[in-house]
Structure 1
Amino acid sequence: MVNYKRNVEELKDKAVFFWTKELIDEEASISVIPTLLNTQSKFISILDVADSSPIAWKLALNLTQDIYPNLFLKHLMVISDIGAEPLKNNDFKSMFPQKTMTYIWKNKSHDYTFQKLLDKPFLNSSKLCVDGKGLIKPCELTPLLEDVIMLLMYAGVSTDESVDEGLKDKCIIGSLLGKRDELEQFIKQRYIWVSRITAGATSNSMGQLAQRYVLKKLQDKLPTWTLSSNGSIPGVSHNNGKTDMSFDIVVCSPQNKWCAIEVSFQFTTNSTIERKSGQAQSRADLIKVAGHKIAYVIDGAGNFKRSSALRTICNYSDCTVAFSPDEIEVLSEFLKTSL
């Protein structure tokens, strides 16, 4: 007989501990922060050497393989705190009625004539190739990308009176070309801030990836069943029936039997597993009274450092599995035999 209700030691024997290549590749397609941090020094070097003219950055880009035009633009968007959405909402035709931006660089006046930006293109991260998927592949320096790069570098030193004040405050990096110390201080301060505000979001996105991975594998194995993400089970609720209780994955068999599935894969320690542990008993009690089941998919080196939390979860779980394909198969067999 298959042992579905495992203890921590039995679960650990089946664990994979670290992300599979499949998930690493998928995570890379949506998370850009590691790429930005890994190329930060090269980005600073380009801005440092590109001081012979206000467009010398174009030549510097051609001389390196590590930074390509869309990645260069993404760095500028992060340090200026201006994404695709704010760009989309600006009326650049009104700002630059002559289609030209006049700006001061090294105490001299320069002009840049926009090529595509004033044609009101539909701007989003995908079109600019600066979303996760776009940054996986280098793209050429298109006229639109060049327009946006020049705007983010020099709008802050533009002499055009109609330029938005928000752009003037944020788009100043062009004035620092060739000033290594000032560049490093400014950019690294920005990235400290970016790292702090994205740490939770990155962890959350990885949690969502793990959840979607399990859901997809179960859907493939149970094609006639009903499965949903972040769903609820009839009769299982908070606050005396006033609020439905949400679970990472909800499964309903053709016989209308239900199972809640909670997923946690953490390769570093965080509070997610402690939260799930704190909820484990009350959730199990409510689900049992309603006549249904609850299962957990738990893995990751970080989670196994929280042995007390894992022990609590195992105690109140009807089926506990790790994250490998074989383990998801065990979970699907549990669902087939129990619902």
Structure 2
Amino acid sequence: MKIFSELGIRSSHMFIIIAAGVLVVNVDSQICGRAPVIYNRVFTDKAVVEDALVTKTGIATKLGCLEVCGRSLAVVCTAFVFNKQQQQCKIYKHSLNQLTQVTETGSVGFAILEEATCPAPPPLPNGTVTYTSVVIGSTATYSCDADYHFFGLSQSSVCETTRAWNGFNGSCRQVFFYNITPPSGPTRDISVPGLVTAGWKIEAIGTPLDSPRFYFNLMHDNNRIIAFHMDVRFNFGDVINTVVINSFTGYWGREDSYQPSFPFAPDQQFNLTILVTDNGFELTVDGQWHATREHSINAAVITAIRIDDACIYQSVKMFY
């Protein structure tokens, strides 16, 4: 009886009878040929189960690439792979598009193929990626670091048959800012990273300096459009302790002035919240003082926050 020296397999084990017909195990090839496209079922021939030499030798030597081919369909092969970590047989089918775990008793597998995998998913600046596997079909999920928010279409990526990660679309952009120092010039701009719509909110904690006034603008980055202008006047011209709210769209709009219960004072910290609604802006200072301003232009034009050098901000936070 001939023995194949590479694996020590007796020729009597080269033909395995199953319901679909006679299958042939080809140990001569060291490389997998055409990717399998179909298979009927895993063979569970008792003779194979009882002969531990086949499995043990295959696992130990890692030689060759075993293909199980139907005699009547010689071009259709199924490649069995032994996963050492899981101690289970696995099978590749349908051109490696899907990995199906083989659990039937008697499956014979050999550690001669690596599972089709992708490299580690690419990193995300200012974010992290979480994944449990890099085999084809695996999913990686991205999340943003503290003080950053995700903007994009998809936070997940899939390891595809091309062995590349695809599907992720977006980036992490900063939305929380702390200890904003006075600008070197008269003003400083903070980028608004995403679209401003109803429900968008900004919270600013600041301390006015001993100055006649300070302002807080929500504007388009070219400063030709100011969707929201809050001008806090302590002693400016003939105006004392007044909050002026306005907008600029090529010209200044109607000026709304608020004097009663003036909520600001030099060197006294305040907490300003501005909420965008369908109709306009809602202002709250220290949870007590309130004011509103209707939209003069679509809030979606807002791309920047402009502050001046008359107020120091401990934090500016945007919520989406």
Category of TM-score, reference length = shorter chain: under 0.3
If asked which structure has higher relative contact order (CA below 8 Å, sep 6+), I would say 1
More helix by share: 1
More strand by share: 2
The higher radius of gyration belongs to 2
**TM-score with structure 1 length normalisation?**
0.23
**TM-score with structure 2 length normalisation?**
0.24
